Amino acid sequence: MKDVTLMKLVLTVPYLIDKLKLSKIQIELIRVVQAHPNGFTTAIMSQMYDTTTQSASSRLKALWLKGYLERSESEDGTGGILHIYKIIKELDDTQITEQ
C-alpha cells in the first residue's frame, strides 16, 4: 500500500522520522498510558514493570518530548513535583496496533 502523503512528508521533512520513530517498548508504554485516562505516573510504571522511578521517569519524559504524551504537574506531598502523563488528545481514540 502506498501512502503518497506520508512519502511526501518524509521527503520534505526527513528529520521528523527520527523524532517521531518509536521502539516496540515505547509503543507498548503509550498503549498502557492510554489505558489510564486519569493519568499515569512514574510510580505506577515502576510498580507495573518492576523498575526504578528514575528509569520510568526517563521513559515517560522521552515520549513527552517526542510529543506523544502531555504532562501536568502537582505536588507529591513530600515537597516534590509529581508528573502526571496522559496520551495527547489527538491520539486518544487511536487504536494502537502491535508491530
CATH of the domain at 58: 1.10.10.10
* Residue 46: all three cell numbers together: 515502576
Cα–Cα distance between 49 and 26 in angstroms, integer? 13
Average pLDDT over residues 55-61: 96
Residue 46 has pLDDT above 80, yes or no: yes
Average pLDDT over residues 46-72: 95
In a domain, 14, yes or no: no
Domain that holds residue 72: 22-91
Q: What pLDDT is stored for residue 89 in this prediction?
A: 92
**What single DSSP character describes residue 40?**
B
Average pLDDT over residues 8-29: 87
In a domain, 43, yes or no: yes
Residue 2 has pLDDT above 80, yes or no: no
| Residue 26 neighbours by CB distance under 10 Å | 15
In a domain, 7, yes or no: no
Q: At 86, which helix (H) or strand (E)?
A: strand 81-87
Q: Provide the domain count of the chain.
A: 1
85, 41 Cβ separation under 8 angstroms: yes
Cα–Cα distance between 83 and 78 in angstroms, integer? 14
Average pLDDT over residues 29-44: 94
Q: What pLDDT is stored for residue 97 in this prediction?
A: 77
**What single DSSP character describes residue 77?**
S
